[in-house]
Amino acid sequence: MRRQKPSPPLPHTPLANHRGLRFRDIDNDGIDELIIADGQHNAVYGTTDGGRRWSKLPFTLPAGTALTDAAGIDRGLRLIDLNDDGQLDVVWSNEDACGIWLFDSLETGWATRVMHVSPRSRSHRQAFPPITLANGSDNGFFQHKKQLVWQNEHTAGLPHLVDRRRFIDLLAGQAPQPKSPQASMNSIRLRPGFRVELVAAEPLIQDPVALDWGPDGKLWVVEMGDYPRGTDGKGRAGGRIRCLEDTSGDGRYDRSTVFLDKLNFPNGVIAWRKGILVSAAPEIFYAEDTDGDGRADRRQVLFQGFVEGNQQHRVNGFARGLDNWIYCANGDSGGTIRSTKTGQSVNIGGRDFRIQPDTGRIDAQAGQTQFGRRRDDWGNWFGCNNSNPMWHFVLGDHYLRRNPHLAASGSRVNVSTTPGAAPVFPLSRTLARYNDPGGVNRFTSACSPTVYRDQFYEAQFVGNSFVCEPVHNLIHRERISARQLTFTSQRATDERSSEFLSSRDNWFRPVYIRTGPDGCLWFADMYRAVIEHPKWIPADWQKRLDLRAGHQLGRIYRIVPTGKSPRRPPRLDRFNTEKLVRALDSPNGWQRDLAQELLVQRGDRQALKLLLGQAVSSPRPLGRLHSLCTAAGLDGLTPAIVAASLSDTHPGVRRHAVRLAETLTTVTPDLVNAILPLAKDPDPQVRLQVALSSGSLGSPQQQARLLAPQLIAPGGQQFLQTALTSSLSKSNITHVISRVIKQTADGTKPVNDALLSRLFALDGSYGNKGSLATWISLCADPKLRKSPQQLFSMSAKLLDTLQRRGLSLSTLHTNGTPATRQAIDDFRQVLDLARQTAGEPDRPVADRVIASRLLGRDMADSQAELDLLTTWLAPQTDAALQSAAVSALQRSVDPGVAKRLIGGWTGYSPTRRREVLNVLLSRPAWHESLLDAMEAETIIAVELDASTRQRLITQKNATLKQRAEKLLAINASTSRQQVIDKHLGVLKRTGDATRGATVFKKKCSSCHQLKGLGKQLGADLTALKDKSPLSLLTAILDPNRAVEAKFLGYIAVTNSGSIHAGMLLGESSNSVRLIGSDGKQTTILRRDLETLASTRLSFMPEGLEKDLPPQDLADVIAFVSSAGPPPKRFPGNQPQLIAPEKNGTLRLSATSCEIRGKSLVFEARYKNLGYWMSADDRAHWSVEMPRAGQYEVRLVYACANGTAGNTFELKCADSRLTGKIVGTGTWDNYRTTSLGRVRLPAGRIRVLIAPVGDPNNCLMDLQELVFVPVK
C-alpha cells in the first residue's frame, strides 16, 4: 500500500529563541495553533490526525512582522480580537513601523490589512505609539475596555494620563463584516445577572423576523428572505416558514424543515389547530401538512385586501387575546379587508384588528401598530412605530363604535416618561447615516414591544417592557407602573445610560422579542448589514450598498438568568382535558394562552366543571382569570361564578368578571347589584370596565340603572367619560335620562344641567323625539336665568342638535304636541333674553359671547340678530365679540352671510381675516362669494395666506378652480425649483434669529414647535439644526419635495355641505379628526361624512414665498438654525459673518466661530479651539458667499503625536470632508495641511467641523480653516 506523503513537519533547525513562539487559539475553535516568528522562521501550524501531528498552515504572519528578532528582542506584535469576531487579529507597533491586520480564515490568515505604516512617520495620520521600544522594553502598553492604551512618561500631560486608541476608531475605515454566530454572541453585552444563549443559527434558519411555539414544542420561524425588494431586487418572492425541532432535548434546535417557501414578504406566524396562520400581505392564510412529509400541502386564504406597502409597514401578527380572538397589527398600510368565509369587509384604516379564523370574523380595534401588537397578562394592549417605542391603547374600538354619535378623541397614550425618539445607548460603532442624521443614538426603528409574562426572572423584571431597536443593535427595557387608567414607564436606575442588551456587532439586528415557554425572553436577530428600507436610502448610497448582505444568515437567542436553567416546555398536545385545565394555572403567559386556546378548540364541555371550580379556587389570580376566560370561550359561564369573581381579591379578576358578564344571556338583578359597587372600586381599570360594560349588560332598564349613578358622579377622567358615553345607546338613553332627572330631582344628587344637555342632545341625535319637550322645558326653567353662562350654553346645545337634525323651533311648534308648543313658547323668552344680553354694551363680554350662540337661529328674528352680529365685526369691537360674531354667522343658514363677512374685510386684523377665510371656505357657495370679492378687488390675492390659496386651487369644482388660478396668478409652468432659484438671494441676507422667532410664531407655530413656541404636529424641526440654509430654504419653498404620508392634507365634506381641510390626526370606527392650518381640531362623525380624500400634497402649503418677504425668510431660517443650546461664550471669541478677502480667500479663525459641545473651549492665550474631547463638540462659522466656487480647504492646527489619529468631519453646504488628524509632534507645533476640495454655493452658508464619535484624548488644537479659491 502506498503511504500518504506526510505534511511538512516543524522546523528541523533549532529556533533562534523561544520568545518567538506562541500557542494561540487564533480561530476560536478551542484548539491552539502554533505561531513561530523569531526573525528566522515565519510559519503557523495547526494540529491534524486527532491532535497527534502538526501541519503547516497555508499562511504566515503579515510580511515584515515578527514576534521577536533573531536576538529575541520583542518586536511589538500582539494578537488581539479587535473586531469581536472571536478570532485573533494582529496589532504590530515598534519604533520602525506599525500596522493592523484582521484574521479572515485558516485558509487566508491575516489577509485584511487595516493599515500599515513603514517606515514609521510620526506625522502619519494612521500611526499609533510603539508597543515596544528598540531595545524590546515595554512602552507601557496594555489593552482595556476595547482600547489600546499606553501609559508612560510621554503621556503624563494627556487627559487621564494615558494615550488611548479605541478599537472602533482603529477600524473606522473598515466596513463592519459579518461575524460567526459565536463571535456575534460574544459581542453582546447584557446587564448583570443574565446570559445569552444561541438556540438556532444559519444554516438552520435565515432572516428570522417572527416565531411561535406549537403545542408539540416545535418552533415556527418566519424568514423574510426576500427583504427588501425581492430575491432578485425586482420583487421575486422568497419568504419562508421553517419548523425547527430539538431532537436531542438539549434545548438547542438541530432539525430544520422548510414548511412553506416562495412567500411574499411574510412577517408573522402563529400555531393554529393542525397547522399555522401566516401574515403575508395581501393575505392572512392558514397552512397545514396533511400527508406528514413536513411541508404544507393545504393552504387556505382567510382574509385578503391588506395593502402591500413598504415591507416594514405591512400587516403583521399574531397575539392571543383573553377574549379568544387573535389580534394583529395594521402595519401602517391599512386596507379594506375581506373575510373569505363570511364575505364581510372591514376598513382598517388607522386601526389594528382582531380575527376569529374558524368563523371568519374580523373586527377593527383601536390603535395603529407598525410591528408587534402585544398585551400584558391582564389584557392591556400595546403597540409602537419606528420612533415611538410603546403606546398603550386604552379603549377598545368595539366599545367606542357602539355609539355612532360619539366623536372620541384618540385613546392612544405614550407609555414612557421619555416618549418618542428618546435617546438610546448603543455599543456598536456609529456608522455614517444615509438618512435622518438627527436620529443617531435615538429610537428610529422601535419594533416588537413586549411585556415580560413570567416569573422566571427576578420580581424586578416581571411586567417590564422590552423593545427591539435594530438600527442601533440593541434591546431596550423600561419598568412599567400603573398610572390611573393607563401606564407609565421609565428606565431602571442602573440603566440610565446603558441598555438591557446591546451589541458591538453592527450586523446584529434584533427585530422580534417575546416571552418563551421556558420563562426566558427569546429574540430573533435578522442579521443584516442594512436594515433600513431602500425607500429611505438615497439613490447614490444604494449604489454603494449591498442591500441584501446577510440574507443567508440569521440567529435566534434566549436570555437566561445567571445560575438558572430554563424550564423544559410542556408538550401540551399530549395533555388531556384535566391536565390542560391545570396548565392554565401557570406563571408562563405562553402556556396559559395556548392551553386556553386548545381547550376552546376541543370544545370539551366536561372541562367546564373543572374550569368553574378553578376560577374561584386557584391560588394564582392569573389561573383564576384564564379559567374564567376559557369557560366563556366554551359558552359555559354562569351568573353565580361571575358574581363570585366580581368580589375577587385581585382587581384584574374583578375587571374581567365585569367584562365577561356581557357574555351572559341573562343578567339577573342580583348581578347588577354586584356590579354597581364596582363603579367606585379602588382600582381605576375596574371602574373603567364597569363604564364600558354598562352599555352591554342586560336590558336597557338595567343598563340605565348602572349608567345613571356613574354619569352623575362628579369629575371623571377623560377616558372614563368617553367609556360612559360609548355605553349610551338608542335603546337605553331615554331610561338613563329619566333616572338622572329622578336622582337629581329628589335632592339626593346635585343638578347637573350640562350633563342633562349632553344626554338630551344624544337622545335627539338617536332620533328620539319624546324627550325634546322635556329638554326645551328644562332650558326654559326660570331658575336657570340666574346663571346666563349655564343657561345659554345648554340652550345653544339644544339649538345645535336641532340644526344637525334639520329641525327648527318653528317647525316643531307647528307640528308638535301641545306640551311641545308650550315648551317652545316658554323657550322664546330665553331667546329674547339672549338677544337682550348680546345687545347690551354694559354686560360682561363673556355673557355677550355665550349669548351670541343663540342668535340667528330662528328665521322669525334672524335678520335683526344678524344685523347685530354684523356690527360686532367693526374693528372698534372687543376681539372676543368679533370672533364670536364670525362663529355665529357661520352657523346661520342665511344666504347673505358671506356678503356680511366680506363687507368688513378692510377693518379685520390678520387673526380675524383667517377666521373669516375659514368660514368662507367651509361651504362651496361661499367659495364663489370669495372669488367674486377678489374679482371686485374687495379682497386682493396678497391678503390670502398660503393655506387658503392652496385650498382654492385644489378644489374639485373645475370652474371655481380655474377662476382661482387666474386670480392668484398661478403659473402652472413655474416649477418649485424655479421658485427656489429665484429666492437664492435670501441666503445672502443676514438673518436675525430674534426677529425670526416672531415670524415663526406668526407663520409656522400652528404646526411646528421649536424652542417652546408652537405645536408639535408637523415634522420635528430639532432634527434640522445642522441643515444648511439652502436645505431649509428648499424645505420651506418646496414642502412636497419629500413628504411623509402622515403629513398629507385632507379635505372632508359633510352631508350638510360643510368643508373642512387639514391634516388627519386620527380616526376610529365612528369618527375622523382633522387639524386645520389655524391649529383648531375638528372631529367629524363618519355618519356625517360625505367624502374624505387626501389632497396628495403636504399639509404645509406651497407658495409661502408670497407670505414671507425675503428678509422674513432669512430671519426664520436663522431662528430654525439656532435650535439647540446657545453657543458658548469665551473672552476673545466673537462669532461673526465671514466674507472673502480681496483675493477670494476665506479665513475661518477660532476667534470668529460659534462653539458648542461638552468639552470644547476657546483658549485665548493661543487663539485656538482646544479640548475636543466629546462627540458633541463642534465649531460653526457663518460665511457669506458672493458667488459659487471651488475651494481647497486648509487646516491650521497642532496635535501631539501621542493623541493623533482621531477622525473628524467638515461640512459646508452639500459638501463633506472626513479624515484623521495627523500628529504635528507637540501641542505647540502648528502645521498647515490640506483637507481636500469642496464646492461652495452662493449665498449664506454654514461651515461645521466636529469629531466623529468620542475622540481618544483630544482631537486637535485648531487655529484656523482657510478656504483658498481654486483657479
pLDDT digits (tens, 9 = 90+) for 943-964: 887 888 888 888 888 888 889 8
Looking up cell 511589538, which residue turns up? 76
Higher pLDDT, 554 or 756: 554
pLDDT of residue 978: 84
DSSP codes joined into one string, 685-699: HHHHHHHHHGGGSSS
Per-residue confidence at 970, pLDDT binned at 50, 70, 90? low
Residue 1011, pLDDT > 80, answer: no
Asked if 759 and 725 count as a contact pair (C-beta separation under 8 A), the reply is no
Q: Which of 837, 856, 857 is nearest to 847 (CA)?
A: 837
- Coil, helix or strand at residue 48: strand
pLDDT of residue 6: 43
Residue 1087, pLDDT > 80, answer: no
**CA dist., res. 634 & res. 631, Å (int):** 5
Instruction: Name the H helices within 584-635.
Output: 589-602, 607-617, 621-633
**CA dist., res. 478 & res. 491, Å (int):** 5
List the single range of 455-459, 505-509, 926-930 with lowest mean pLDDT: 926-930
HSE (CB half, 13 Å, CA atoms) of 348?
Answer: 35
List the single range of 409-418, 848-857, 1042-1051 with lowest mean pLDDT: 1042-1051
The span from the first CA to the last CA of the chain, in angstroms, equals: 80
CB burial readout 942-968, b (16+ within 10 A) else e: eebbbbbbbbbbbbeeeebbebbeebb
pLDDT of residue 1124: 63
C-alpha cell at 1117: 431660517
The answer to whether the pTM exceeds 0.85 is no
DSSP codes joined into one string, 917-967: HHHHTTSHHHHHHHHHHHHTTSS-GGGS-HHHHHHHHT-S-HHHHHHHHHH
Higher pLDDT, 578 or 1229: 578
Higher pLDDT, 1263 or 1: 1263
Preceding omega of 282 cis (within 30 degrees of 0): yes
Q: Is the dihedral of CA 1119, 1122, 1123, 1125 positive or negative?
A: negative
Q: List, in sequence order, every beta strand (DSSP E) within 1028-1098.
A: 1048-1054, 1059-1067, 1071-1075, 1081-1085, 1089-1098
List the single range of 64-73, 196-205, 1081-1090 with lowest mean pLDDT: 1081-1090
DSSP state of 2: P
**CA dist., res. 1003 & res. 1100, Å (int):** 11
Percentage of the chain with pLDDT > 70? Answer: 94
DSSP codes joined into one string, 404-431: TT--PPP-EEE-BSS-SS-B----S--P
Q: For the segment 273-299, what is each residue's pLDDT rounded down to a tens digit?
A: 999 999 999 999 999 999 999 999 999
pLDDT of residue 747: 54
Of all residues in the chain, what percent are helix, strand and coil, respectively (each to 5)? Answer: 30, 25, 45
Rounded to the nearest integer, the mean pLDDT of the chain is 88
Backbone angles phi, psi at 1134, to 5 degrees: -135, 100
Can you tell me the mean pLDDT for 854-874? 85
Q: For the segment 729-751, what is each residue's pLDDT rounded down to a tens digit?
A: 999 999 999 898 887 665 555 55
Q: For the segment 769-799, what is each residue's pLDDT rounded down to a tens digit?
A: 777 888 888 888 888 888 888 889 889 988 8
Per-residue confidence at 2, pLDDT binned at 50, 70, 90? very low
Q: For the segment 1115-1151, what is each residue's pLDDT rounded down to a tens digit?
A: 888 888 776 667 898 999 999 999 999 999 999 999 9
Higher pLDDT, 961 or 1265: 1265
Can you tell me the mean pLDDT for 8-13? 62
Looking up cell 374561584, which residue turns up? 616
Amino acid at 285: F
DSSP state of 13: S
Asked if 471 and 142 count as a contact pair (C-beta separation under 8 A), the reply is no
Other beta carbons less than 10 A from residue 1020's beta carbon: 16
Preceding omega of 228 cis (within 30 degrees of 0): yes
Can you tell me the mean pLDDT for 651-671? 93
**1051 DSSP β-pair partners:** 1061, 1093
**CA dist., res. 974 & res. 978, Å (int):** 6
pLDDT of residue 1041: 66
Task: Output the 3-class SS for 132-196.
Answer: ECCCCCECCEEECCCEEEECCHHHCCCHHHCEEEEHHHHCCCCCCCCCCHHHHHHCEEECCCEEE
Backbone angles phi, psi at 513, to 5 degrees: -145, 145
Residue 5, pLDDT > 60, answer: no
Other beta carbons less than 10 A from residue 521's beta carbon: 28
pLDDT of residue 681: 96
Q: For the segment 1119-1128, what is each residue's pLDDT rounded down to a tens digit?
A: 887 766 678 9
Backbone angles phi, psi at 1167, to 5 degrees: 55, 50
**CA dist., res. 916 & res. 1052, Å (int):** 19
Q: Which of 1037, 1020, 1213, 1047 is nearest to 1120 (CA)?
A: 1020
Q: Which of 251, 316, 254 is nearest to 283 (CA)?
A: 316
**CA dist., res. 1114 & res. 1098, Å (int):** 22
**CA dist., res. 36 & res. 22, Å (int):** 7
Q: Which of 161, 95, 171 is nearest to 126 (CA)?
A: 171
**483 DSSP β-pair partners:** 486
pLDDT of residue 13: 63
Residue 577, pLDDT > 80, answer: yes
Preceding omega of 1131 cis (within 30 degrees of 0): no
Residue 15, pLDDT > 80, answer: no
Can you tell me the mean pLDDT for 572-593? 97
Q: For the segment 1164-1208, what is each residue's pLDDT rounded down to a tens digit?
A: 888 999 989 888 889 999 998 888 899 999 999 999 887 888 889
Q: Choose from 116-120, 410-414, 1045-1049 the range with maximum mean pLDDT.
A: 410-414
Long-range contacts of range 586-589, CB-CB < 8 Å, 24 or more positions apart? 586/623, 587/454, 587/455, 587/456, 587/519, 587/620, 587/622, 588/453, 588/454, 588/456, 588/515, 588/517, 588/519, 589/377, 589/453, 589/454, 589/515
**CA dist., res. 387 & res. 443, Å (int):** 5
Pairing of strands 465-469, 298-304: unpaired
Asked if 1247 and 1181 count as a contact pair (C-beta separation under 8 A), the reply is yes
Per-residue confidence at 1025, pLDDT binned at 50, 70, 90? very low
Higher pLDDT, 83 or 971: 83
Asked if 453 and 322 count as a contact pair (C-beta separation under 8 A), the reply is no
pLDDT of residue 781: 85
Backbone angles phi, psi at 495, to 5 degrees: -130, 30
**CA dist., res. 382 & res. 492, Å (int):** 20
Amino acid at 419: P
pLDDT of residue 409: 77
Per-residue confidence at 973, pLDDT binned at 50, 70, 90? low
Backbone angles phi, psi at 1035, to 5 degrees: -65, -35
pLDDT of residue 164: 86
pLDDT of residue 724: 96
Percentage of the chain with pLDDT > 90? Answer: 56
pLDDT of residue 902: 94
C-alpha cell at 1231: 502645521
Q: For the segment 124-149, what is each residue's pLDDT rounded down to a tens digit?
A: 556 889 999 999 999 999 999 889 99
Q: Which of 467, 267, 274 is nearest to 386 (CA)?
A: 467
Can you tell me the mean pLDDT for 901-924? 89
pLDDT of residue 1105: 81
Asked if 44 and 35 count as a contact pair (C-beta separation under 8 A), the reply is yes
Asked if 62 and 10 count as a contact pair (C-beta separation under 8 A), the reply is no
List the single range of 734-738, 1053-1057, 1262-1266 with lowest mean pLDDT: 1053-1057
Cα 341 from chain centre: 35
Per-residue confidence at 7, pLDDT binned at 50, 70, 90? very low
- What Å distances lie between residue 529 and 87, 146, 171, 436, 463, CA to CA? 20, 22, 16, 18, 32
Asked if 1162 and 1155 count as a contact pair (C-beta separation under 8 A), the reply is yes
Backbone angles phi, psi at 643, to 5 degrees: -60, -40
Q: Spell out the residues 6+ positions from residue 889 whose beta carbon is closer than 8 angstroms to its own.
A: 856, 866, 869, 870, 897, 900, 901, 919
List the single range of 329-343, 856-870, 1254-1268 with lowest mean pLDDT: 856-870
